[in-house]
Amino acid sequence: MVRYVTSNPGKAREAAAYLGTDVETIDYEYLEPQADDLEPVARYGARAAFDGLSGDEPVIVDDAGLFIEAFDGFPGPYSSYVEDTLGIELVAEIARGATDQRASFRAVIGYCDGSVTETFAGRVRGQIVAPRGDGGFGYDPIFEHGDRTFAEMSVEEKNAHSHRARALERFAAWYDAHRESD
């Protein structure tokens, strides 16, 4: 059993598919540090959640962001704040005014079991476009991978390509090996 600190049950279902074990969704608030990189945020979050929750089951958290090449990776770890402050339409408009619309979604899974704290990163490349599609959430309507935005893909299709899926793949391989060595 792994506890996933998220309020999104879809993330837990996705993690369970990669891990081949039960994944419990835990809604737990902790003070998230600000950093210019996702890795220390996820590492801190995993440790804080493990320490703050009762029990000895391992926990995972994730941190993710949109990294726009023309802006040296901004908004990156500040993606949620920028989305809430400016909105995705304005972010797309500003990015499309730059000479380079390349971007990537990045995710880092943080894991803690009390004695081990690890992180696992995933990235998917694409470009910023005018908003399209009705699915997904956040920046999905302005992030095009291949010939469609994440918002134009089904949940299953997006999960097969997503930054979180790539981080979960890396985590699942490590987790399987870690469980076997115990």
At 162, list the tokens: 């997503």
**63 among known catalytic residues:** yes
Catalytic residue among 56, 62, 63, 182: 63
Q: How many helices (H) and strands (E) does the chain have?
A: 6, 8
At 55, list the tokens: 């029990």
Name the burial class of residue 72, with classes exposed (0-12), middle (13-18) and buried (19+) by CB atoms within 10 angstroms of its CB.
Answer: exposed
Asked if residues 149 and 127 have their Cβ atoms less than 8 Å apart, the reply is no
Q: How far apart are CA 132 and CA 139, in angstroms?
A: 10
Active-site amino acid positions:
63
